[in-house]
Amino acid sequence: MVRYFTRLRVRRIYKWGGRPYIFDRKLKSYGFEYLNMSVEGQEAVTTVTPGQYILIEGNDDEYPFVAKLLKFFGDESHKQKKALVQWFLRLSEVPQNKKLLLGRSPHPQEIFYYLGRACDNEINAESILGTVHVQHVPEDTPFPEPGTKDTLYVKLSWDTKAFNVLDPVLMQDTPASTPPKPALPLFPPCASPTATPVSRGPVRRALPTPDPTVMRRAGSVSDTRATMSAGKRSTLEAESIHSASKLSASKILSAKRRGSAADTPGVRKKLQLSIGASPGKKMTRADVLCELLDEEMESEKVISLKLSSSVSHSLQHGCSLSPMRSVCKTPNGQRRFPWKLSSISLDRLSPTALGEQDFSRATTPSRRKESAMAIREPALGVLAEEDSEDSPMQPIALTPRSKRKSAQLVSLRIRKQLNLLDNTQELISDGDDDCFVPSKKDLQSSSDEEKTVSEEETRGRNCKTSVRTPHKTPSKKVCMAVGGFCGACVICFYRNLLDNTQKLFSDGDDDCFVPSMKALQSSTDEEKSEEETVVRKTRGRNGKTSARTPCKTPSKKVTPSTPRHATPSIPSRTVPARQPGNILDEARARLHVSSVPESLPCREQEFQDIYNFVESKVMDGTGGCMYISGVPGTGKTATIHEVIRCLQHASDMDEIPTFRFIEINGMKMTDPHQAYVQILQKLTDQKVTADHAAALLEKRFSNPAPKKETTVLLVDELDLLWTRKQNVMYNLFDWPTRRHARLVVLTIANTMDLPERIMINRVASRLGLTRMSFQPYSFKQLQQIITSRLNKVKAFEEDALQLVSRKVAALSGDARRCLDICRRATEICEHSASHPSSTGLVRMSHVMEALDEMFSSSYITAIGCASLQEQLFLRAVIAEFRRLGLEEATFQQVFVQHRALSRVEGLQPISVSEGLAVCQRLGACRLLLLEASRLDMLQRVRLNVSQDDVLYALKAVRD
Amino acid sequence: MSHGQHYSERFCHQRLPEKPVGMESQHKHLLELLRRTAVHGESNSVLIVGPRGSGKTMLLNCVLRELLEVKDVNKNVLPVHLNGLLQTDDRIALKEITRQLNLENVVGDKVFGSFAENLAFLLEALKKGDRSSSRPVLFILDEFDLFAHHKNQTLLYNLLDVSQSAQAPVAVIGLTCRLDVLELLEKRVKSRFSHRQIHLLSSLSFIQYLDNVRSQLSLPQDFPDTKFYDEWNDSIKVRHFSSYPQLVDVLQRHYNSSKDFRSLHLLLMLALSRVSASKPAIKPTDLLEASRVCMVDSKANILHGLSILELCLIIAMKHLNDIYEGEPFNFQMVHNEFKKFLQRKSHSIHNFDKPVVMKAFEHLQQLELIKSMDSSTAKIQKEYQLMKLLLDHSQIMEALQKYPQCPTDVKQWAMSAFG
């Protein structure tokens, strides 16, 4: 990706290039072949052609939207510039709650193919920032190791519900397949045939043999015909559905900036290429086809026409790389319908597609090596490639300088040596690219030499198309010319194909293939050397970046400035945690407060109320506040989390719109103003100062924005967000009232009357009257909670449970306390399990012991265990209190009593220093409350326990 | 290793005992708890409560030592030691935690980021962990009660919250001597605490105490010089003890005063330091002498060093206290009382100029034998500042008895009822 200097507000100028063709007569829209972008005051012109991956201006300057350009169109005046795109998502654009579905940490450069329908795929062309490189990484392959900054990787698709393995067909590069191609979301959103990744991998790279697969493919094509119209309908539907879309974002933002990417030679080359490749005649034919297509959408005939038109377009632009490989293999072929057909046609045209279809992969230099291997050992080629895919060493990682230089030579040599073997074995081993076989045969039989050249050439060109090197043009031209010629053949061929005529299928294949191949070869011979250098250059470039990246990583640890990017994590353990062994362990694990219960019993009413509140707000797209109060441990936070879980499930099921859940906690921040920072960080991953965050949030919630989903904000421990001016609270309650905010704020605090007590009127008024109070649990509820948590693990006697719940309910109604006591009781039970009488169940006695431990005051025991002098001192304190009639005395006064008492007790009197030490010890335990010790003998002494308790304890000691 | 070194390590708490004495059940409870955290990844929180010197830290360290001997646990736990006296606020505590955990925002010994960032970072780190895969962290909070005084109790809330939610497994172990520590916790913090308390309250009888003294004094089995070992251990046998009733009395007095090991160790250390090469065995007299040093009253000691004039002022103050029943006095009153004495009774002491007396008075104030009662000292003239005597009658009388060459008229004045 190219760097954008966001501060540099440059004005970009967008101009249509190429000849317009009428795209839709009714709407008076015109299609265009490419778009020239230039920056005011600079000469360099960047050309964007359909098929390229582009960056589109969005909210985030650093991470603009990514999409694949499908076509350009505009109105008569040529002022309105629009483009049809296929969106890709970055992970940051995936809703927060769905990110986990990925199930692994995302690659920083990873993007996802967007299969959803919510986004409008029509954008303002003037929001295009530039081009970007996108590479498809097969599912089971790790990401290329040192990911260069400029390349994004696609592995999975995202259909708003789940990440699916991306059908590689979708990623086939058809750079120039322009107007009539239907917009992408033709596929039903859940298109993820599980079988595809496995079956496809090897097949793609395989070389063709005439096979029964022809039949299969024919069958699948007939299937697709049936579903075509359905697919189309779904597109229309999708278009009508679109509500908030990326597009509108880019529409709003007028593109004023310009990427330096625009200067890359590749793009300029592309421009020349397309100029050369668009002779008028072909254009008109394409137009005619388009019209036909538009007018008679439903008819089968038109479908075929449409197909052919798409083909012809691809031909014009000479992209001969699309594979057809998967056609026959796809179990539910109809889903990939349009792609398949076009790819078939393309395959027919070009020998180049041989094993090289994976366009994006071809961009990596080491791809060459792979293909070389495939050719060297054709029988094993599939295997070898699979291996290399599985291994963590990725293509790019394979390119140290030495390898790069030699690889080409070596592969060439090997290939030459094994050429004969090749010819025969390829036919046998390589399965499904059946349509290729005849041509391949021709080619091979004609001359080995030639074949090598062509292969070399193919690879070279693949590399080139991706990097858009200038040397491409001549061959491309030829290819296009051939393509044009072939177009007609293809059309009729496809008609036949759709009629399921198997024979014609293969015939047509031959017809169109051979000439193109020949032509291509003749033209490319001279270029070969040239291209090689280009390829080497490309590699050099790639190699450099890949070489640079690894040394970056270790340096991170050395430089002291980097901890900003540190990832917070606790080291993982070497030995995995043990699972609970016996029934008591199991019970203890279930009773731990942290274990998430299957359900939240006893809060059904509260749950329903909160659920209804949040659901209605999410459905309406409005905002609101709710205040929830209750003493600690009454399940406030747990209930809300449960509500959110349920709502998220509902939104996964598409019952309600997606929403975003953010949680902040007043206790988990150092300062009330940090709330802004945390909210912003959770919303956008930005790290800014509190003031700036407040401003940004203000903007975000007050301005209308596209594609805005409802945000549900949970503010726990609200009382800690109190500031003198109360501006944090004010903002939190004010934002939901804004028209475009779509913010639901749920606040939690302990006291019922918090709004009245600490909030000034304007804050309390904004909070509104939606209040809810969680009552402390009753003993029945507590019992139910424990029982439901235990979930049939029989560890407690019924009476024991009742005792716990009654006791806790009487004291606080805190569920946490209840669970803690139960856990402690299981421990006590375990320790006493050595007794032969024990049943292994937690009984009353155990619970009693646990209750005693937790609730009984330790003062009495402490007094009982105190030393004699300490006990005497306590008695002296009481005696002095009685004498004075006050609950307070100075040490001096008490010490007089103490001395008298020790005489009575027959003890040797202690010195003042010792007496003070005794007093201080009692003070440290907080049996006594003392003044500061610098007052020495004058410090006042007070009892922290009631006199009765002291006397009781002392009496117990004496008895 | 000489026996001297051995004892100094033992009595100065530089080495842990083989096993904690008299706290087996607590030991088992704590060990079991921490083992479950370390092995099963169960989060826990516990408070160890006991008076000063009762062996809280010793117990914990013994448990940790034992815990780390377990093979699975050794590499798997991350202990974090904090002390309320060192980490006086959450900012410092957070930096210290981060440093000890060696999270990624630590470079060398420096922790990067602001307070808020550190908190967010630590919480994020703990949140990312889960029960089965991340290493358990043992947060050991010494002087736990002081952490409760931090603003909002943010640190405690967060640590205890982690221990009660499905995040990285943690064990929060608090050590405190305050019995009322739970009342310090804010209600939300308190609710998150598991209320598990281990009390260390020794109920040692005198017989056990004597046994302890003996075992503390005896050399270990593996002592290299066997001849010396036999001689030494023989010298502290029971019969030596019981044949000296004085010694038993002294120990009883210590036992009555406090049962904890720290004060016992102090006594034994003093006794032991009287052992030398020429006198290679510990004698009961050593213990008696040590006990005398331990029990001595510090104020009486100071009185011995005063001049006659200062002593006279003290006596005057004592009389004033008697007359006015402990009401505060000022310099002028003391001076008058002193002059009365000089006029009526004194034969040996001459008149002193007022400034000289004032100087002596100030010296007493510096020694903190008298203390000013007014907070705003600046406004009132020195002579009229209200003072109180920080000495007991008994202390004064004791000091007079021992004061070297105290004039008899002064002694008599001191003992007479009213001036």
The torsion angles phi and psi of A511, rounded to 5 degrees, stand at -55, -50
What does each C-alpha distance from A684 to A60, A91, A111, A170, A796 come to in angstroms?
9, 12, 17, 30, 48
Minimal Cβ distance to B392: which of A596, A867, A937: A937
- pTM across the whole model: 0.62
Å from A48 to nearest chain B CA? 43
The torsion angles phi and psi of A164, rounded to 5 degrees, stand at -120, 160
Give the pLDDT confidence score for residue B130 in this predicted structure. Answer: 83
3-state secondary structure of A13: strand
CA dist., res. A874 & res. A947, Å (int): 9
Q: Does the beta-carbon distance from B192 to A816 stay under 8 Å? A: yes
3-state secondary structure of A103: coil
Q: Which residues of A223-241 are buried (b: 16+ CB within 10 A; e: fewer)?
A: bbbebbeebbebbeebeee
CA dist., res. A722 & res. A771, Å (int): 19
Residue A280 neighbours by CB distance under 10 Å: 8
Residue B257 in contact with partner chain A when CB distance is under 8 A = yes
CA dist., res. A295 & res. B55, Å (int): 92
Q: Give me the interface pTM, i.e. the ipTM.
A: 0.92
Over the stretch A151-201, which tens digit does the pLDDT of each residue have? 777 777 777 677 777 766 666 654 444 344 343 333 444 334 333 333 333
Chain B, 269 to 288: residues with Cβ < 8 Å from chain A are: none
Give the pLDDT confidence score for residue A117 in this predicted structure. Answer: 61
Angle at A567 between CA A564 and CA A570, to 5 degrees: 135
Select from A570, A897, A933 the residue whose CB has the most chain B CBs within 10 Å, as the one to mutate to test that interface.
Answer: A570
Chain B, 165 to 204: residues with Cβ < 8 Å from chain A are: 165-169, 177-180, 187-188, 190-192, 194-197, 199, 201-203
Residue A938 in contact with partner chain B when CB distance is under 8 A = yes
Tell me the chain A residues in contact with residue B158 when contact means C-beta distances shorter than 8 Å.
667-668
Residue B44 in contact with partner chain A when CB distance is under 8 A = no
The chain-wide mean pLDDT, for chain A, equals 66
Å from B230 to nearest chain A CA? 34
Question: Where does the pLDDT of residue A918 fall: very low under 50, low under 70, confident under 90, or very high at 90 and above?
Answer: very high
Minimal Cβ distance to B134: which of A566, A573, A817: A573
The chain-wide mean pLDDT, for chain B, equals 86
Tell me the chain B residues in contact with residue A670 when contact means C-beta distances shorter than 8 Å.
90-91, 115-116, 119, 154
CA A707 to chain centre: 17
Return the higher-pLDDT residue of B216 and A188. Answer: B216
Q: Does the beta-carbon distance from A858 to B161 stay under 8 Å? A: no
Please report the sign of the dihedral spanned by the C-alpha atoms of residue B306, residue B308, residue B312, residue B313: negative
Residue-wise DSSP of A769-798: S-EEEEPPPPHHHHHHHHHHHHTT---B-H
pLDDT over threshold 90, residue A841: no
3-state secondary structure of B206: helix
Please check whether residue A344 is in contact with residue A351, taking contact to mean a CB–CB distance below 8 angstroms.
no
Tell me the mean pLDDT in the region A413-432.
Answer: 48
Minimal Cβ distance to A914: which of B91, B115, B295: B295
Tell me the chain A residues in contact with residue B167 when contact means C-beta distances shorter than 8 Å.
594
The torsion angles phi and psi of A230, rounded to 5 degrees, stand at -60, -45
Please report the sign of the dihedral spanned by the C-alpha atoms of residue B213, residue B216, residue B217, residue B220: positive
Residue A931 neighbours by CB distance under 10 Å: 16
CA A853 to chain centre: 48
pLDDT over threshold 80, residue B340: yes
Q: Which residue of B has its CA nearest to A902?
A: B256
Over the stretch A473-484, which tens digit does the pLDDT of each residue have? 344 444 444 444
Over the stretch A268-289, which tens digit does the pLDDT of each residue have? 434 344 444 444 444 445 454 5
Please check whether residue B134 is in contact with residue B168, taking contact to mean a CB–CB distance below 8 angstroms.
yes
pLDDT over threshold 70, residue B1: no
Tell me the mean pLDDT in the region B20-35.
Answer: 88
Over the stretch A60-82, which tens digit does the pLDDT of each residue have? 666 777 788 777 777 666 667 77
CA dist., res. A66 & res. A129, Å (int): 10
Tell me the chain A residues in contact with residue B169 when contact means C-beta distances shorter than 8 Å.
577
pLDDT over threshold 60, residue A354: no
CA dist., res. A954 & res. A871, Å (int): 7
- Tokens read off for A816: 């946490």
Over the stretch A674-699, which tens digit does the pLDDT of each residue have? 999 999 999 988 889 999 999 999 98
Residue A955 neighbours by CB distance under 10 Å: 9
Closest CA to B236 of B220, B223, B252, B217: B217
Counting residues of chain A whose pLDDT is more than 90, the rounded percentage is: 21
Task: Report the range of poorest mean pLDDT among A20-24, A697-701, B3-7, B281-285.
Answer: A20-24
pLDDT over threshold 80, residue B228: yes
Return the higher-pLDDT residue of A137 and A328. Answer: A137
Helices and strands, number each (H, E), in chain A:
35, 21
Give the pLDDT confidence score for residue A71 in this predicted structure. Answer: 77
What does each C-alpha distance from A560 to A565, A592, B104 come to in angstroms?
11, 41, 11
Please check whether residue A614 is in contact with residue A746, taking contact to mean a CB–CB distance below 8 angstroms.
yes
Helices and strands, number each (H, E), in chain B:
22, 9
Return the higher-pLDDT residue of A324 and B330. Answer: B330
Residue-wise DSSP of A459-517: HHHHHHHHHT-GGGHHHHHHHHHHHHHHHHHHHHHHHHHHTT-HHHHHHHHHHHHHHHH
Over the stretch A247-265, which tens digit does the pLDDT of each residue have? 333 434 433 333 333 333 4
Over the stretch A526-568, which tens digit does the pLDDT of each residue have? 444 444 444 444 444 443 333 333 333 333 333 444 455 677 7
Place of tokens 């402690």: A824
Chain A, 831 to 870: residues with Cβ < 8 Å from chain B are: 831, 853-854, 858-859, 861-862, 864-870
Tell me the chain A residues in contact with residue B39 when contact means C-beta distances shorter than 8 Å.
577-578
Over the stretch B125-142, which tens digit does the pLDDT of each residue have? 998 888 888 889 999 999
pLDDT over threshold 80, residue A462: no
The torsion angles phi and psi of A218, rounded to 5 degrees, stand at -55, -45
Å from B181 to nearest chain A CA? 9
* Neighbouring residues of B92: CB distance < 8 A, sequence distance ≥ 6: B86
Chain A, 888 to 927: residues with Cβ < 8 Å from chain B are: 892, 895, 899, 907-908, 910-914, 917-918, 921, 924-927
Closest CA to A633 of A799, A748, A757, A771: A748
Tell me the chain B residues in contact with residue A817 when contact means C-beta distances shorter than 8 Å.
191, 195
Closest CA to B329 of B393, B379, B374: B374
- Tokens read off for A719: 């009382």
Task: Report the range of poorest mean pLDDT among A295-309, A920-934, B6-20, B133-147.
Answer: A295-309
Å from A563 to nearest chain B CA? 4
What does each C-alpha distance from B351 to B312, B333, B340, B347, B413 come to in angstroms?
12, 16, 11, 11, 16
Closest CA to A326 of A138, A470, A119: A138
Tell me the mean pLDDT in the region A346-354.
Answer: 41
Return the higher-pLDDT residue of A185 and B386. Answer: B386
Q: Exposed/middle/buried for A210, CB within 10 Å: 0-12, 13-18, 19+?
A: middle
Give the pLDDT confidence score for residue A148 in this predicted structure. Answer: 60
CA dist., res. A847 & res. A824, Å (int): 8
Q: Does the beta-carbon distance from B129 to A570 stay under 8 Å? A: yes
- Tokens read off for A638: 């747990």
pLDDT over threshold 50, residue B401: yes
pLDDT over threshold 50, residue A373: no
Q: Which residue of B has its CA nearest to A873?
A: B257
Minimal Cβ distance to A925: which of B51, B91, B125: B51
Q: Which residue of B has its CA nearest to A939?
A: B390
- Specify the pairing of strand A81-90 against strand A110-114: antiparallel
- Specify the pairing of strand A771-774 against strand A889-890: unpaired
Over the stretch A596-618, which tens digit does the pLDDT of each residue have? 777 888 888 999 999 999 999 99
Counting residues of chain B whose pLDDT is more than 90, the rounded percentage is: 32
Residue B135 in contact with partner chain A when CB distance is under 8 A = yes
Which range, A701-710, B151-160, B374-383, is most confident? B151-160
pLDDT over threshold 70, residue A587: yes
Give the pLDDT confidence score for residue A186 in this predicted structure. Answer: 38
Over the stretch B91-121, which tens digit does the pLDDT of each residue have? 999 999 999 988 887 887 788 888 988 898 8
Amino acid at B363: H
Closest CA to A781 of A881, A923, A639: A639
CA dist., res. B282 & res. B218, Å (int): 11
Torsion angle of alpha carbons A503, A507, A509, A512, nearest 10°? Answer: -150
Over the stretch B40-99, which tens digit does the pLDDT of each residue have? 888 999 999 999 888 899 999 999 999 988 877 777 888 999 999 999 999 999 999 999
pLDDT over threshold 70, residue B233: yes
Tell me the mean pLDDT in the region A305-314.
Answer: 43
- Tokens read off for B44: 């826990």
State the DSSP code for B36.
I
Angle at A511 between CA A509 and CA A514, to 5 degrees: 95
pLDDT over threshold 60, residue A220: no
Tell me the mean pLDDT in the region A456-473.
Answer: 42
Alpha helices in A93-159 (DSSP H): none
Å from A904 to nearest chain B CA? 15
Give the pLDDT confidence score for residue A119 in this predicted structure. Answer: 62
Question: Where does the pLDDT of residue B146 fall: very low under 50, low under 70, confident under 90, or very high at 90 and above?
Answer: very high
Give the pLDDT confidence score for residue B45 in this predicted structure. Answer: 94
State the DSSP code for A434.
G
Å from B414 to nearest chain A CA? 20
Please check whether residue A270 is in contact with residue A319, taking contact to mean a CB–CB distance below 8 angstroms.
no
Residue-wise DSSP of A726-754: -HHHHHHHHGGGSTT--EEEEEEES-TTH
Question: Where does the pLDDT of residue A35 fall: very low under 50, low under 70, confident under 90, or very high at 90 and above?
Answer: confident
- Tokens read off for A468: 């858009």
